[in-house]
Amino acid sequence: MTIRAERKRAARHRILEAASARLREDGLSGGAIAAIMKEAGLTHGTFYAHFADKAALDEAGFRHALGTGRVEWIGTARDRTWQGRLTRLAEHYLQPWHRDDRAHGCAFAALGGDAARASESFRRAFAEELQKSLDAICDTDAAGPPPGKRANDAMLLMALCVGGLTLARAAGDLNLSDTILSVCRKAAASAFGATGPALP
């Protein structure tokens, strides 16, 4: 890779980092191009060397957020059982720190409401990234049910996690918000019947 190409790649990465954080903080209606470019430490004119318009940046920023966040959430821990895996993922996701750190949290919870009213292109990106997350949850050697049941369980886990986090963020009362997270963690443990902790 040439020095010029490497600089362009690094600049794009900085734009995506800034855009993905701003999207999760402010939603699709926030994050003006000028503000994002300033956060990335680049000039406004540089934007068009990377993206055609704000809609293209929104989609790329969303995909970037999921691409990095998915790896951090699922991790590399080996689980004894499928049930233990799902319970571990819910326990990690449904935490107060995740609720409070919008800019670095789950893009599904941050943009789910926006996506429902977004362009067809953005909704397609949302669906594709959701499928990638479901596939990543199911990609394990842990002992458990057949593929069809795993896929259904993964979908239930995502609905419980994203829905729980969304409600916890929306609740104006901190005690209620904490209770929502706690109840959802317990519901995951109950629904998936975890039989043991993750292996070290």
In the chain, the N- to C-terminal Cα span, in Å, equals 39
| In contact, 61 and 16? CB cutoff 8 Å | yes
Residue range 25-41, pLDDT digits in tens: 999 998 789 999 999 99
Residue 22 is given by DSSP the state: H
CATH fold group of domain 3-192: Tetracycline Repressor; domain 2 (1.10.357)
Q: Give the helix, strand, coil percentages of the chain, each rounded to 5.
A: 75, 0, 25
pTM: 0.90
Q: What is the pLDDT of residue 194?
A: 52
| In contact, 157 and 193? CB cutoff 8 Å | no
Residue range 3-28, pLDDT digits in tens: 888 889 999 999 999 999 999 999 99
Q: Residue 151, CB half-sphere, CA atoms under 13 Å: how many?
A: 7
Is the per-residue pLDDT at 197 higher than 50? no
